[in-house]
Amino acid sequence: MRRIAQKIWHQKIQKIEKKSIMDNDGITNRVAFGKPGIYRYDVLFQDSSMQTFLAKRKSKKIIVNGIRFLSRHNLRIGLLLIKNHTVFGFNNSYIRETFLYKNFDISLKNYLIPVYGEYQNRLTDNYILMLKYIPSSRKVTAADYKTVFDAITDFHKMYYGKSEFAAKCKLNHYSAKNYSDCKAVLLAMFDELESSDRSAFHPVQIHKIKKFLQNIDKEYLPFHKTLTHNDFSPRNIFCVGDKLYIYDWELACYQNPEHDLIEFLVSVIHETEDEQIYEMIRYFKKILLEKLGIEIESQQYAQILRFNALEYAVNRLSLLRLVNKTFKQSMIDQMTMNMSRLMDIFEI
């Protein structure tokens, strides 16, 4: 790490020390499962100046390891994931985050953790991203929804309808064919969770989810697309004073902006009442459409919300629930119950 840090700062180092990370240490408490792959380093340079930074390590092996982990008890799921793993946003995710940080519009940098530099080991295709160390932060809650939505819709506005940006940054951009190809693995994953489905969802909801899965390629909405974070939950959003940061863009996607709304709601609605949830949805729609300068009829917007809610239920949430079979995180159980409640709110 000494050699890498010297290349980034172009200074000789007297001492570099790896420090343990506490649960409430800046961004690191946003990691839900396993080892975070984030380490803190304190550097003393030859001129006696000091620098503290976070080193975020990423590896191409995340794809292979993820497929093995999710499918170790089900060969069919494993084979389907090998063919269709991009539906989870993992395709090239090990380089996407650094590329995005370099290419975000300057007006959005205020929402991002400053990046000092990166190091890529071309032999192993692994990299280290060096980020500013933030010593204390506050996790956002449902009560912060206006600040959170104001921030993420700035990203939605900047890249709305810009498919060329999605291609440049290698963002996943799904088509009806992608959903047609992947619905077999999504259905297999949902069926793998059948025993817990019965306690998480109403029987009518399970029926509607499976019907949606069977027709997901026909339900697909080929319009109203922009950059989305695609992992937009409080573990990746935090505040320092009155400043908000959005972290961990490696799963960023090009899809409906409402996907970020759904993911945030599924993470926080247990903290609030139904009427406040309706207000959160109304606020998101209002500021998004105002920023985009467009109008969408209520019936069509309800269709957008319905698709993104159900797509999240059978895709991202199924992935988390399969992981949760091993890690047993109460957070994921809560998100599953929240998903059922959100389906009721949307009258799905």
Alpha-carbon torsion angle 180, 182, 186, 191, nearest 10: 80
Cα–Cα distance, 127 to 74 (Å, whole number): 31
pTM attached to this predicted model: 0.91
For residue range 10-67, list pLDDT tens digits in order.
Answer: 999 999 999 877 655 555 444 444 455 788 899 999 999 999 998 888 777 777 777 8
Cα–Cα distances in angstroms (integers) from residue 120 to residues 38, 52, 57, 176, in the given order = 16, 20, 10, 35
Q: What is the pLDDT of residue 331?
A: 86
- Sheet containing 237-240: give its strands across: 138-139, 237-240, 243-246
Say if residue 102 is exposed, middle or buried (CB neighbours under 10 Å; 0-12, 13-18, 19+): exposed
Cα–Cα distance, 342 to 348 (Å, whole number): 9
Helices marked H in the chain — which ranges?
Answer: 2-9, 61-71, 75-84, 93-103, 145-158, 163-168, 176-192, 194-200, 203-214, 216-219, 258-268, 274-292, 298-314, 316-327, 330-345
Q: What is the pLDDT of residue 138?
A: 84
Query: In the chain, which residues have pLDDT < 70?
Result: 22-36, 87-95, 197
For residue range 81-96, list pLDDT tens digits in order.
Answer: 888 777 666 665 556 8
> Six-digit token pair at 76?
């069919």
Backbone angles phi, psi at 29, to 5 degrees: -80, 10
Cα–Cα distance, 249 to 284 (Å, whole number): 21
- Estimate to the nearest angstrom the gap between the alpha carbon of 296 and the chain centroid: 26
Cα–Cα distance, 319 to 315 (Å, whole number): 6
Neighbouring residues of 72: CB distance < 8 A, sequence distance ≥ 6: 78
In order, the DSSP letters of 266-277 are HHHGGGS-HHHH
Other Cβ atoms within 10 Å of 138 Cβ, number: 12
Q: At the top level of CATH, which class does the domain 60-113+137-345 belong to?
A: alpha beta
> Six-digit token pair at 61?
């092996």
Q: Where are the domains of the chain?
A: 60-113+137-345
Measure the N-to-C terminal CA separation of the chain; round to a whole number of Å: 52
